[in-house]
Amino acid sequence: MFLEHHGDELLKSSLGVLSKAASLGDADLAGVVTGSNVRMLADEAGKFGAAKVYVADDEQLAAPLPQPRVDVLARLVREQEIDTVLFANSVLAADVAAGLSARLDAGLNWDLVDVVRENGKLVGKRPALQDSVYVDVGWTSEPRIALFRSGSFDPNATGGSAEIEDVEISLEDFSSSARMVDQAHEESEGPSIEDAEVIVAGGRGLGGPENFTLVEELAKALGGAVGATRAVVDAGWYPYSTQVGQTGKTVSPKLYIACGISGAIQHKVGMQSSGVIVAINKDPNAPIFEFSDLGVVGDVHQIVPRLTELVRERKSS
């Protein structure tokens, strides 16, 4: 299992896939942490079910570039005869998984949302036909590589501890020819959209970019993150990084509040696994009401500020 981290934290999506793998009952489940000064992350992985964690801790792995990681993983797979490598999708993980697949001539199943063991074989579940059906996918040879949609599984800390093994680094010449020149972080307050337990998402029904303050205020009051539809990010109302849906992010918060969102299939597939879905829309026939747990027919400009007020009152009392 490739364990990705940002700073000194393992990503929730990686820990989710690790927990899922642990639930399949493989006693040899191992994680791989790559980077510089990352040894302390190995203990964390043990709590989520890894029996062993390989640590590739080296200055040459400091930048989040894929090829050096492909070198580390390819060598481990060959030397340790690893039969399956799992990834939680991200820009980096997708690059590493693709590179590893090419390097090892291994089959890669991507965009999986689940994996099960059937008659001793691993079977992946992959949404198809615009996410309207799930298909079973498998591998015809080893090693198998699987890339899961971000947010497919919740991390489950079982409290174990992992054996830690340092990995020797030996990079191919071509792997060090790319250099990271700059890295920028988008400044944002509160939890990221992938990690948030509450998401308040805005759509075209907000009427304009200036009205995104309505969803921002509600998200802040609830301690959540702001999401958006493709229609509004395409219109330049809100950043692309907040887009939820087929061509955006897949999220599964405990609570998803959709404000002025019609509920197109491409949006639905990115948020349908949320715990509770609340929709506010002035059109009683909007498709979003078909898959909401709670629907409010009304104008977002009246309902959202009132809701924010109520949440604040409740919190302060």
List interacting residues with ligand FAD (CB under 6 A).
203-205, 229-232, 243-248, 260-262, 264, 266-267, 270, 280-283, 286, 299-301
Beta carbon nearer to ligand FAD, 47 or 126: 126
Beta carbon nearer to ligand FAD, 32 or 303: 303
- Residue 287 beta carbon to ligand FAD: minimum distance, rounded to whole angstroms: 8
Beta carbon nearer to ligand FAD, 66 or 248: 248
Beta carbon nearer to ligand FAD, 126 or 267: 267
Alpha helices in 48-133 (DSSP H): 66-80, 91-104
Q: How many CB atoms lie within 10 A of CB 67?
A: 18
> Nearest to residue 223, comparing CAs of 251, 195, 198?
198
- Residue 282 beta carbon to ligand FAD: minimum distance, rounded to whole angstroms: 4
- Residue 289 beta carbon to ligand FAD: minimum distance, rounded to whole angstroms: 10
Amino acid making up residue 224: G
Side-chain half-sphere exposure of 99, counting CA atoms within 13 A: 19
**Residue 232 host element (H or E):** helix 230-234
- Residue 2 beta carbon to ligand FAD: minimum distance, rounded to whole angstroms: 25
- Residue 250 beta carbon to ligand FAD: minimum distance, rounded to whole angstroms: 9
CA dihedral 128, 146, 139, 76 (to 10 degrees): 170
Beta carbon nearer to ligand FAD, 109 or 262: 262
Q: Rg of the Cα trace of the chain? A: 21
Residue nearest to ligand FAD (CB): 245
Residue 168: both structure tokens together: 């020797």
